[in-house]
Amino acid sequence: MKPERETMSTSELISKITELEGQIVKLTKQTKSDVSKLKTQQNRADEAVNDLKVIQQQLLQQEKLASLGQLTAGIAHEIKNPLNFVNNFSELSMDFIQEIEEELEKLNDSTEKENILELLSDVKSNLHKIKHHGSRADSIVKSMLMHSRGGTGTMDPTNLNDLIREYVNLAFHGMRANKNPINVDIRLDLDESLSKININAEDFSRVILNLSKNAFDAMRDKIAVKGSAYKSILAVRTKDLGDKVLIVVEDNGPGVPDEIRDKLLIPFFTTKKGTEGTGLGLSITHEIIKTHEGSLEIESELDQFTRFKITLPKTTT
């Protein structure tokens, strides 16, 4: 045995033991706190993983949308060519009938001639109808192509009012053709004194589509709550402010709660369930407005209205 041990007194031993006990308690506490720290850290990691999963899901959705866009462009192109033939041949045939009528006029009058002229006029009116509906289809195909091609980045003098009329209308008909269509009173109040302004029409039409679509979605939710007593209204206004242009897109839907007002423009922020929204609409919208050196303001009162105010400078280059 070692001499030091022998010389340790009982009291010394007890104090040593107490000291050791204290250390053990301390260590246990330390370990406990370490474990709980680890746990919070693990929770944080879990949260991060979850966030990542959600984002991954959204990116996947985005990719799907992108490939859907490509598919649409492909289809639109395939349809465009045969449609051109339909339009061209119907137009040609109208010209020919015109010529036939002129030739017929040179012949002596008879009941047969009368009959032929009558039939020809019917054929001509049918051809007009073919041409008319062909042109309609053509303009739809054109806007499909415009949206999937992606901006070329050039700013051209554009009639903003015409663009708004066209794309609010397109958004409305798109909504009506999809599931859960709603009735909306569309009110356009466009400042006709506005001259052409330099914008990227392709990109800017996306802004109008996104804002209109959001308004329809929001008002659909309000209809679900309030029933048919509520009449949904989408109002779009333009105003010439001299060196700037003001565009207002306003709906009388449910409004935006204060808690989320600041989050609206954040990419992927959505209150829509499942795959109904990617949460990119407003961030893309904001992005496009920024590239036009403009600004976006959101005003809203719960249960009353949501108002998106866009201000664009007139001299964007």
Provide the binding-site residues for another protein, judged by CB under 8 A: 77, 80-81, 84-85, 87-89, 92, 96, 138, 152
SS (H, E, C) the chain: CCHHHHHCCHHHHHHHHHHHHHHHHHHHHHHHHHHHHHHHHHHHHHHHHHHHHHHHHHHHHHHHHHHHHHHHHHHHHHHHHHHHHHHHHHHHHHHHHHHHHHHHHCCCCCHHHHHHHHHHHHHHHHHHHHHHHHHHHHHHHHHHHHHHHCCCCCCEEECHHHHHHHHHHHHHHHHHHCCCCCCCEEEEECCCCCCCEEECHHHHHHHHHHHHHHHHHHHHHHHHHHHHHCCCEEEEEEEECCCEEEEEEEECCCCCCHHHHCCCCCCCCCCCCCCCCCCCHHHHHHHHHHHCCCEEEEEEECCCEEEEEEEEECCCC
* C-alpha torsion 152→153→158→163, nearest 10: 70
Tell the smallest beta-carbon distance from residue 129 to Mg ion (Å).
Answer: 37
- Which of 253, 254, 255, 281 is close enough to bind Mg ion by CB under 5 A? 281
- Which of 90, 238, 278, 311 is close enough to bind ligand ATP by CB under 6 A? 278
Nearest residue to ligand ATP, scored by beta-carbon proximity: 281
For position 271 contacting ligand ATP by CB under 6 A, the verdict is yes
For position 253 contacting Mg ion by CB under 5 A, the verdict is no
For position 270 contacting ligand ATP by CB under 6 A, the verdict is yes
- Which of 175, 200, 253, 288 is close enough to bind ligand ATP by CB under 6 A? 253
Residue range at the interface with ligand ATP (CB under 6 A); choices 71-79, 116-124, 146-154, 268-276: 268-276
Q: Which does 89 bind (CB under 5 to 8 A by kind): Mg ion, another protein, ligand ATP, none?
A: another protein
Strands 233-240 and 185-189: parallel
- Which of 127, 282, 288, 312 is close enough to bind ligand ATP by CB under 6 A? 282
- Of the two residues 1 and 225, which places its CB atom closer to ligand ATP in the complex? 225
Q: Which does 218 bind (CB under 5 to 8 A by kind): another protein, Mg ion, ligand ATP, none?
A: ligand ATP
- Of the two residues 135 and 283, which places its CB atom closer to another protein in the complex? 135
In the chain, what is the straight-line distance between the N-terminal and C-terminal CA atoms, in Å?
95
Q: Which does 294 bind (CB under 5 to 8 A by kind): another protein, ligand ATP, Mg ion, none?
A: none
For position 160 contacting ligand ATP by CB under 6 A, the verdict is no
For position 212 contacting Mg ion by CB under 5 A, the verdict is no
Tell the smallest beta-carbon distance from residue 211 to Mg ion (Å).
Answer: 8
Binding site for ligand ATP (CB under 6 A): 210, 214-215, 218, 251, 253-254, 256, 264, 269-272, 277-283, 306
Binding residues for Mg ion (CB under 5 A) = 214, 281
